[in-house]
Amino acid sequence: MDELDQKLLSAFPGRVVRKDLVKRLKVGFNVPVYVLEYLLGKYCSTIDEDEIEQGLQRVKTTITERIVSGDQSELIKVRLQRDGSMKLIDLVSTTFDEKVQGGKFWAKLATCGLSRVHIERELVYKHERLLTGGVWANLELVYDDSLSEGGKIRPFVVSRLAPIQIASANFDDFVAGRNQFSRDEWIDVLMRSMGYEPSHADFTPRRKLMFLLRLVPMVEQNYNLIELGPRGTGKSYIYREISPYVILLSGGQGNVPDLFGWKNRRDKPGLVVKYDAVAFDEVAGSNFKRDADKQMYKGYMEQGSFSRGDDKGTLSADAGIIFNGNMDGDVETTARVSHLFSALPEAVRDDMAFHDRWHAYLPGWEMPKMQPDYFTSHLGFIADYVAEIYHTELRRRNYTDIHNQFYSLGSHVEERDRKAVVRTVSGLVKLIHPDGNCTKSEVQEYLSFAIELRRRVKEQLKRMGGIEYSKVNLSYIDEQDGQETFIACPELGSAQMIPSGPLEPGDLFTVGFDPNEGRYSLYRIQITATPGTTRFNIIGTTGRGIKESARMAYDYLKANIRKLGIERDLNTYDINVQVISLMQGKEATDLGVAFYIGLVSALLRRPLAGGLVVLGQMSLHGVLSRVEGLGDKLRIALDAGAKRVMIPTENSRDFATLPPEILDKLQIDFYSDPRQAIFKALVD
């Protein structure tokens, strides 16, 4: 035991357990952590190693004798009939049958597979959690074949029941105990309660906050969290083991009837009504294929209410929705050329309205892959104790205005952003400062973290939706000195796809529209002109529209080369064109001017200015077309590192509709014809 162990044991006697013992047992027995911790607290509440070993044997024996599996249900029935009674540990839930005269309660034992088991109403009244998801309990079953129901013998009876999970937890005692620890000590206590050793060098302060963020849906109502990252980082563990009020769904589980209840079936309430949080592990696309289903998910995530279209009307619930998914590869590249929702199933991957409901995007790629020395051998809270505190006390508290005494939010923070940010701050405060007392610097840390998590969502929406989601520069303002602080996402990095220095001759950047995909993409065009026999070759991204634009620019240059003062014969050159799509675009029909400038640059061996993007399409006779989607194209250019953009004069009337931050950060040069475009593009 170290100093923190001693302090925790003194402040919370009977509420802590050695987490390494839990881990040792968890390997051999497939029962929830809070069941193991109950038994460990009963038999291993000592620091004497010999007594602990003896206690572990008793725990193992108890589990072996009393916890059975579903394939033993028939064996249980036979033993009950033979012996008359049995003692078990099982997850017990009850339903109420109002159709029976006077009402009738029925128990269901999840592990051993028994249902329609008699249970006295006094036991249900005493332990109401039996009606809301069930409770793990020590129980005694008896066999009485004189009992029947509906003409069928129902011989199984729960004669005694003692919940394993903690029935109640005193919040005042919890706060009093918390106040004996510093903030950093308390964070380490929470880390150990999750089973991790916070003193490990890999658990930086930032990573500790990320681990705690996984707990926020347990304390904050209707909190929607998404985490995508590599396998093996513990994304699902916390939702499977820590709290009986959270359910983890795998694979294709979690359809509309599961989540929101069966239509016209009062005995089939939805998971969002029964639990505090519903987590999807490795999200399956089959859950979201129907538009009506997606609309119900989106409506619930936004408002915390839903309607099944029956006589129940509109129902409210406070369960949060959590998505966990696997994402591999270079995150920084993905963040720049695509978006960080691309790992999700196709049914929801590009649904901007769906993703706008996330309060936070936890960067799972920053979380370490689990290894043996990450797990603690020290004391932590019994899981069910903190789960009860979170469920009964902290969820009903509200700290969403706690930042107002020190900070306000910047102009880019829209209403949906504000709700997301303040809920994240509120959740972190509940976990770390349950009484709501924290300093200005602590609030600043949580606020910065919360803004980053929401900005990560907005950045992806901007990549999918363009100018509609252009306000991504989220910030906060110090009320005391008026200083505004902008928060960035680390994965965006400082590296730019468009170099700031001069490029090789024939090398330039442009942005085009893919009509098939309905999206804008950044392209890099590289052209060489070498002595040869009039070969014109184009490779790389070679959609039909791209090929036509390139050929048209070549033919126009061939017809007008003398007017440019170029004393060279194109018939004596081989032209090689490579088109590189930097954002997964496959086609574009509006790259003509960029091809034209690139051809001249390559032919003259004159480099183009660095940080330049050329926009515009031209006809075979050099007539310029107005650039469509100018705002979106400028946003893509700016994000990729452009400093200067060339556009046709025809687009000058669009300036009134462009966001000021784009105009402030980009130099815009106009050209009225292809010849003027060339002279403005070439380096002096």
User: Per mean pLDDT, which range of 57-61, 129-133, 472-476, 588-592 is the poorest?
Assistant: 129-133
d(CA 592, CA 553): 6
Percent of the chain predicted with pLDDT > 70: 94
Residue 508 φ/ψ region, left for φ over 0, alpha for ψ in the -120 to 50 degree band, beta for the rest: beta
pLDDT in the model for residue 284: 60
Residue 31: pLDDT band by 50, 70, 90 thresholds? confident
- Does 596 or 65 have the greater pLDDT score? 596
- Does 577 or 494 have the greater pLDDT score? 577
pLDDT in the model for residue 260: 85
pLDDT in the model for residue 311: 60
Check pLDDT > 70 for residue 263.
no
pLDDT in the model for residue 287: 67
Residue 627 tokens, joined: 């650039």
pLDDT in the model for residue 269: 73
Residue 494: pLDDT band by 50, 70, 90 thresholds? very low
pLDDT in the model for residue 28: 64
pLDDT one-digit tens code per residue, 401-439: 999 999 999 988 999 999 999 999 999 999 999 999 999
Question: By CB neighbour count within 10 A (0-12 exposed, 13-18 middle, 19+ buried), where does 101 fall?
Answer: exposed
Tell me, rounded to whole angstroms, the distance of Cα 244 from its chain centroid.
22
**Residue among 99, 134, 108, 463 at smallest CA distance from 274:** 134
- How many CA atoms does the CB half-sphere of 283 hold within 13 Å? 27
User: What per-residue string of b and e applies to 150-172 under the rule 16 or more CB within 10 Å gives b?
Assistant: eeeebbbbbeebebbbbeebebe
pLDDT in the model for residue 61: 87
CATH class of 3-11+170-381: alpha beta
pLDDT one-digit tens code per residue, 208-235: 999 999 999 999 999 999 999 998 999 8
Q: Is 165:244 a contact under the CB 8 Å cutoff?
A: yes
Reduced to 3 states, what is the DSSP secondary structure of residue 529? strand
Reduced to 3 states, what is the DSSP secondary structure of residue 57? helix
pLDDT in the model for residue 495: 47
Check pLDDT > 70 for residue 657.
yes
Check pLDDT > 50 for residue 489.
yes
pLDDT one-digit tens code per residue, 284-335: 666 677 787 788 888 999 999 888 766 667 888 999 999 998 887 778 777 7
Domain 507-681 maps to which CATH number in 3.40.50.720, 1.10.540.10, 2.60.120.620, 3.30.230.10?
3.30.230.10
Instruction: Report the chain's C-alpha Rg in angstroms.
Output: 32
pLDDT in the model for residue 135: 83
pLDDT one-digit tens code per residue, 131-161: 877 888 889 999 999 988 878 899 999 999 9
Over range 367-373, report the average pLDDT. Answer: 92
pLDDT one-digit tens code per residue, 631-653: 889 988 888 889 999 999 999 98
User: Per mean pLDDT, which range of 236-240, 548-552, 660-664 is the poorest?
Assistant: 660-664
What does DSSP say about strands 104-109 and 85-97: parallel, antiparallel, or unpaired?
antiparallel
d(CA 513, CA 281): 35
Q: Is 323:280 a contact under the CB 8 Å cutoff?
A: yes
CATH architecture of 70-163: Beta Barrel (2.40)
Check pLDDT > 90 for residue 448.
yes
Check pLDDT > 50 for residue 618.
yes
pLDDT in the model for residue 365: 93
Per-domain boundaries in the chain: 3-11+170-381, 70-163, 398-492, 507-681
Percent of the chain predicted with pLDDT > 90: 50
Check pLDDT > 90 for residue 525.
yes
Residue 15: pLDDT band by 50, 70, 90 thresholds? confident
Contacts of 90 (CB under 8 A, 6+ apart): 67, 68, 109, 110, 111, 112, 136, 137, 139
Over range 380-384, report the average pLDDT. Answer: 88
Check pLDDT > 90 for residue 584.
no
Prediction pTM value = 0.75
**Residue among 149, 155, 154, 158 at smallest CA distance from 100:** 149
Residue 499: pLDDT band by 50, 70, 90 thresholds? confident
User: What per-residue string of b and e applies to 117-143 under the rule 16 or more CB within 10 Å gives b?
Assistant: bbbeeebbeebebbbebbbbbbbebbb
Check pLDDT > 80 for residue 399.
yes
